[in-house]
């Protein structure tokens, strides 16, 4: 029986995705400095020259990894069938991400976030997340995306999990339960701010006579 035909474009897409997934795993496990392009290629099961056909350097690979995560969240938020609020979607993604980080190594994740080689890519990606979140939060609150309320909430959501990673002591970092409890406390404070904005009185567009 003949194998189904796979186009060259589809093979390139599959290889690219395998490289991104390999990089995600190695970054979480080993940290940014110990993750080499050679190691990523080996983990993905391809020759390093194949990797270079997709990514000319580590920065391009990191940017593609961030883009992949961004598109995943964008797809969830823009799903016309979704029933969850924007806060609930982001909570689910952050909680799942923190569970994975705990399994692979919280310390490496924190070191990667603060490493100059990664920080610039992560910061630019964070601005895109904030814009995306602000758009959907504004819609739920009946506001405009650049109004201060959705912008503030978007920033809080975007940096909530990072603040948990940066504020943990060793005991919390060593316990998945304690780490997730700290994140839920952080998220609950954000949810309280959201609810206060949702209950606000609409501002008058005109001045009183």
Domain that residue 191 falls in: 58-198
| Residue 205 lies inside a defined structural domain of this protein | no
Asked if pLDDT for residue 207 goes beyond 60, the answer is: no
The answer to whether residues 121 and 68 touch, using CB atoms and an 8 Å cutoff, is no
Burial of 178 (0-12, 13-18, 19+ CB in 10 A): middle
Tens of pLDDT along 131-149?
Answer: 999 999 999 999 999 999 9
Tens of pLDDT along 88-108?
Answer: 999 999 999 888 877 766 766
| Residue 43 lies inside a defined structural domain of this protein | no
| Residue 172 lies inside a defined structural domain of this protein | yes
Asked if pLDDT for residue 3 goes beyond 90, the answer is: no
| Residue 100 lies inside a defined structural domain of this protein | yes
| Residue 206 lies inside a defined structural domain of this protein | no
d(CA 191, CA 36) in angstroms, rounded, equals 39
Give the total number of structural domains in the chain. Answer: 1
The CATH number for 190's domain is 1.10.357.10
| Residue 178 lies inside a defined structural domain of this protein | yes
């Amino acid at each position: 029986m003949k194998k189904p035909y796979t186009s060259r474009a589809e093979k390139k897409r599959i290889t690219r995705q395998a490289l991104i997934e390999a990089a995600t795993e190695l970054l979480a496990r080993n940290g940014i400095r110990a993750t080499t392009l050679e190691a990523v290629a080996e983990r993905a099961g391809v020759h390093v020259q194949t990797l270079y056909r997709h990514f000319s350097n580590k920065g391009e690979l990191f940017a593609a990894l961030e883009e992949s995560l961004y598109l995943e969240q964008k797809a969830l938020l823009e799903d016309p069938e979704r029933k969850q609020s924007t806060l609930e979607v982001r909570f689910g993604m952050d909680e799942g991400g923190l569970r994975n980080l705990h399994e692979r190594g919280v310390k490496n994740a924190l070191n990667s976030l603060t490493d100059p080689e990664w920080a610039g890519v992560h910061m630019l990606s964070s601005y895109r997340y904030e814009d995306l979140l602000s758009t959907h939060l504004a819609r739920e609150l009946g506001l405009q995306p650049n109004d201060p309320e959705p912008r503030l909430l978007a920033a809080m959501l975007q940096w909530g999990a990072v603040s948990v990673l940066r504020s943990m002591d060793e005991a919390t970092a060593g316990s998945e339960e304690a780490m997730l409890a700290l994140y839920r406390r952080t998220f609950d404070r954000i949810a309280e701010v959201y609810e206060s904005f949702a209950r606000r009185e609409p501002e008058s567009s005109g001045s009183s006579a």
